[in-house]
Every structure is written in structure tokens, then in C-alpha cells.
Amino acid sequence: MVRLEDARRIIAAAEKKAEEIGQPMNIAVADAGGNLVAHVRMDNAWIGSIDIAINKAFTARAFDISTKELAGLSQSGDQFFGIHASNHGRIMIFAGGVPLKRDGKVVGAVGVSGGMGEQDHAVAEAGAAAY
């Protein structure tokens, strides 16, 4: 179970990493049902990335893999091509969503948006590591 105190710890670690790389981010944490637990928009982070961060967290939990990995599997001709059109368009197929695991089981996810894909992924990984 991802509690609010967990989400705050995850967000704090992700914010720290975003500050280290000098990129303001939107950071969202979802629970086991893919529901939003908490979201933070750092100062000067793109407004357009709010929904993207939330949806990256949803995607990582909905499929229990990182959005970076899903991106690779959803290219033309691959097994998940077109998946981004499912779930009312909530599926994000670029880096920045990472599942949260406890005892090997996915219990939630963190989603980050506001930079380049590798930056988003690194910040999400830092947040996930704090869980």
C-alpha cells in the first residue's frame, strides 16, 4: 500500500534529483489501483506536464513496467503497437513512469514529466528508490 507519507518521501527524493540536474519537474505518485496519491509541480515546471506525469504513474502501474520499457515494446510492428490509444488515451509511451515494488510485488508507481525522457526516467528512478 502506498500511503501519503510514502508519496511525500518519494516526491522529496525525486525533487532532490530534479534539483541536482537543474530541471523542474512534475512528480506524481499512484497507488496499487493506479489512483493518484500525491502530485507536486516544482516551480517553473511545465503546466502541460501535469497530466503527463500523472498518466505516466498510471501507465507504469497499469502494466507493471516502466514507461521507458513500454515505449520500446509499442513501436510500429511490435507487440504493443497502438497501446497508447487504450484506456481513454491515458497510456504514456515515453520514459518517466516507474513501478513501485514491495517484496517483489508492484504496489504503485511514480510518474515524472518536465524534461527530456532520460531526465524524467532518472528522476522517477530516484523517487522509486526512496520507496
- Which pLDDT does position 114 carry in this prediction? 98
Beta bridge partners, 38, equal 29
Domains of the chain: 4-129 (3.30.450.150)
pLDDT tens, 36-93? 999 999 999 999 999 999 999 999 999 999 999 999 999 998 889 999 999 999 999 9
- Which pLDDT does position 70 carry in this prediction? 96
- Which pLDDT does position 38 carry in this prediction? 98
Angle between helices 4-21 and 117-129 (to 10 degrees): 140
| Mean pLDDT on 106-114 | 98
Q: Cα(53)–Cα(25) distance, rounded to whole angstroms? A: 9
Residue 36 burial (CB count, 10 A): 15
- Which among 54, 61, 67 is positioned nearest to 32, based on CA atoms? 61
| Mean pLDDT on 91-106 | 96
Q: Cα(17)–Cα(115) distance, rounded to whole angstroms? A: 12
pLDDT tens, 8-29? 999 999 999 999 999 999 999 9
